[in-house]
């Protein structure tokens, strides 16, 4: 197969995943929340089990007027939703779906690339907050920046622990080196990574930057129509990315109970949707953390625990 054809197929597959998986997660969130909270509305749109709810939401966003505040920095204001989306697209390019290079672009330093690109999300938050010319947006953006910069540290340390255990920065290499007993040995790192990842995508209970009772809708207050929809899409893509990274780093990726590489992609997707369900479950089950609680959890719990896990991993590697 010519190189350019293979490249087009790989990038095309990633684009399809980028456009479909977040929509499936969004539809699942509607249904899971409807069942857990007894919501009737999302279960009726279109008939059977509310299958058209996501379509109705899309039509609603398209019909809404696209408003830009008079005092806003128009160029930055309009660019911010795109900056929120692009990093997740780049991350999906290097996350392996299965064995035998079933990945958009295999990289030997895939983990380093992922952690660097995910950190760009804070730029989109600050861009939207500053450009909106709204004090509530600015406060939400500053809260978001403090949260993202803080939780980036335990996220990186937890990922470094599993990379040290595997002896490689390649995401595919980490999956190949993974062993079932890592579920116990690296369990603290997995919990730290997952919690920090949820905070990085600003999902409840870590949604202080968009606290509607205090800040209207934080850094997204002035956004309407499709631009607001892009921010919501970025949130759902973020769920997919964090679930996929948790799967690849800590749950064995494509490895399943049977020694059949042909079904590797299926095991990966099942694990991704299972982790996504847990993220949705957290939104329904736990109230929003206060700002002081959010920062205390980061600096007094997750950072020390991630450092301890890193020391444990180093000691085990030396012993082995």
Domain ranges of the chain: 69-319
Cβ partners under 8 Å of residue 286, min gap 6: 204, 205
Q: Which of 304, 315, 194, 303 is nearest to 249 (CA)?
A: 194
H-only helix segments in the chain:
3-37, 53-63, 74-94, 110-118, 121-131, 135-166, 171-177, 182-185, 187-200, 212-215, 225-250, 264-285, 291-296, 303-319
Could you read off the pLDDT tens digit of each residue along the chain, which spans 320 residues? Answer: 677 777 788 888 888 888 888 888 988 888 888 888 777 777 777 777 777 777 777 787 778 878 888 888 888 898 999 999 999 989 999 999 888 778 878 888 889 999 999 888 888 889 998 898 888 888 888 888 889 889 999 999 999 999 999 989 999 999 999 988 888 889 999 999 999 999 999 888 888 888 877 777 888 888 888 888 888 889 899 999 999 999 999 998 888 777 666 777 889 999 999 999 999 999 888 888 888 898 999 999 999 999 999 999 999 888 87
**Quick count: other Cβ atoms within 10 Å of Cβ 283?**
17
- Alpha-carbon distance of 10 to 236, in angstroms, equals 22
Helix (H) or strand (E) holding 97: none
* 55, HSE (Cβ side, Cα atoms, 13 Å): 7
CA 27 to chain centre: 16
Contacts of 49 (CB under 8 A, 6+ apart): 31, 43
User: pTM of the full predicted structure?
Assistant: 0.92
**In this structure, what token pair is assigned to residue 79?**
């660019």
Cα distance between residue 9 and residue 15, in whole Å: 10
């Amino acid at each position: 197969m010519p190189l350019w054809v293979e490249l087009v197929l790989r990038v095309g597959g990633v684009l399809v995943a980028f456009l479909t998986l977040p929509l499936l997660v969004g539809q699942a969130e509607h249904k899971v929340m409807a069942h857990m909270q007894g919501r009737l509305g999302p279960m009726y749109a279109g008939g059977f089990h509310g299958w058209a709810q996501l379509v109705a939401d899309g039509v609603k966003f398209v019909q809404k007027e696209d408003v830009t505040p008079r005092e806003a920095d128009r160029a930055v204001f309009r660019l911010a939703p795109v900056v929120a989306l692009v990093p997740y697209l780049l991350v999906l390019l290097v996350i392996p779906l299965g064995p035998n290079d079933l990945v958009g672009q295999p990289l030997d330093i895939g983990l380093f690339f992922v952690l660097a690109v995910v950190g760009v999300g804070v730029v989109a938050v600050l861009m939207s907050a500053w450009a909106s010319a709204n004090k509530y947006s600015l406060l939400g953006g500053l809260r978001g920046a403090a949260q993202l910069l803080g939780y980036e540290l335990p996220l990186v340390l937890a990922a470094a622990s599993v990379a040290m255990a595997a002896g490689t920065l390649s995401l595919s290499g980490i999956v190949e080196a993974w062993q079932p007993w890592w579920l116990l040995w690296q369990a603290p790192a997995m919990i730290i990574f997952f919690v920090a990842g949820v905070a990085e995508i600003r999902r409840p209970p870590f949604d202080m930057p968009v606290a509607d009772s205090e800040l209207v809708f934080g850094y997204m207050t002035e956004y309407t129509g499709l631009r607001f929809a892009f921010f919501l899409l970025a949130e759902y893509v973020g769920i997919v990315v964090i679930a996929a990274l948790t799967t690849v780093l800590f749950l064995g990726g494509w490895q399943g109970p049977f020694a059949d590489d042909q079904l590797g992609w299926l095991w990966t997707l099942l694990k991704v949707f299972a982790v996504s369900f847990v993220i949705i479950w957290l939104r329904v089950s736990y109230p929003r953390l206060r700002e002081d609680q959010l920062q205390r959890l980061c600096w007094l719990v997750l950072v020390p625990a991630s450092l301890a896990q890193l020391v444990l991993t180093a000691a085990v590697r030396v012993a082995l």
